Amino acid sequence: MVTSRKGAGGKTAAKKKAGAAGPDLVQLLTPEGDLVEHPDYSIDLTPEEYRGLYRDMVLVRRIDAEGTALQRQGQLGLWAPLLGQEAAQVGSGRAQTAEDFAFPTYREHGVAWCRDVDPVNLLGMFRGVNNGGWDPNEKNFALYTIVIGSQTLHATGYAMGMQRDGREAAVIAYFGDGASSQGDVNEAFVFASVNNAPVVFFCQNNQWAISEPNERQFRVPLYQRAAGFGFPGVRVDGNDVLACLAVTKAALERARTGNGPMLVEAFTYRMGAHTTSDDPTRYRDSDELEEWKAKDPILRMRAFLEKNKYADEAFFKDVDTEADTVAADIRERCVSMPDPKPISIFDHVYAEPHPLMDEERAEYGAYWESFEGAH
């Protein structure tokens, strides 16, 4: 159970006063693995639930590493690593109910994991053999969006539809700090605000829009931008899975109960490349990376489990073994994916038959058949 208001205290005795994180950053777990108090947000989970969050992050990191390795070996055309952002994604992903609906970008592998999307479908998309491969309505998780920021408008429109249908659910839209400069994101803020739409805007500020640092993107903290649109914003420690869980859960509940949109800025850091086509050593120095390695979200959760004796060495070993098993499984299934027939690109454009599409399919099929060896 996660609580989100002052006075809903946790059960562990390790709690301390919030320290160096500062008043503008919600933090519940320090880099050293100590649970701390916050005046507005708190968390109280069972040891099993704490272990579950750690397991999620380790498995997601292993899946991500496998994606990078497969791309380097030529099995994928591209991969967008999430290294360092596991806490923001697992925390916000586990905050959602089965009825909530998520609109991701192209890096939300951890959120996809929380929504029970088979990781091999993510690999298939970057391999170029499918366009996602999962049913968004089954998973309540939309297909990945490559166009920067456009999904925030989709999310807002979907949330307005939920609102008019009287559904007790909320929408969460993911985007990065770079996308916050896009017109689509600002238009989504306007529509969400004036319609009191049940949508949470979850920005993972990993501090680099490819090679552009934060200081070249905006002059005020991102979460403060929400005030200009008429709804609240909050900055959370994006490397703290417990804070991300508590804050997102409160924001989603706020949206579900008719109180409108909210912006959550998860202040984190991209420890890897923007994509596998990028070389971050060309635009940022190693000292910055080393500083953030000390804030690793997985290491701090492990320290918390160890300090509170919520897990032993056998547990950590079992999780590592499971991660290797999952990675081996998705590797095998990824490299054995058959190439799709070129004509299949028309298969999922429309839900029902469409005369123009049928005509274009026939024309393209005849063109393809004209090549020697097409069969």
Query: Residues 72, 283, 348, 354: which is the catalytic one?
Result: 283
Please report, for residues 149, 221, 222, the alpha-carbon distance to residue 189 in angstroms, rounded to integers and kept in the order given.
Answer: 12, 16, 13
Terminal C-alpha separation, the chain: 57
Tell me, yes or no, if 109 is annotated catalytic.
no
At 165, list the tokens: 């249908």
Tell me, yes or no, if 219 is annotated catalytic.
no
54 CB-near residues (< 8 Å, 6+ apart): 298, 301, 302, 305, 311, 319
Sign of torsion, CA 59 60 64 65?
negative
CA–CA gap between residue 119 and residue 74 (Å, rounded): 18
Chain Cα centroid distance, residue 29? 20
> What count of Cα atoms within 13 Å lies in the side-chain half-sphere of residue 207?
17
| 3-state SS assignment for residue 121 | helix
CA–CA gap between residue 273 and residue 289 (Å, rounded): 11
Concatenate the DSSP letters of all residues of 322-354 into one string. HHHHHHHHHHHHHHTPPPPPGGGGGTTS-SS--
Tell me, yes or no, if 164 is annotated catalytic.
no
Give the residue from 56, 158, 33 showing the smallest Cα distance to 112: 56
Chain Cα centroid distance, residue 19? 27
Query: Residues 38, 61, 109, 274: which is the catalytic one?
Result: 274
57 CB-near residues (< 8 Å, 6+ apart): 86, 87, 90, 110, 241, 297, 298, 301
Query: Residues 270, 300, 302, 331: which is the catalytic one?
Result: 270
CA–CA gap between residue 237 and residue 10 (Å, rounded): 19
Q: Which positions are catalytic?
A: 270, 274, 283
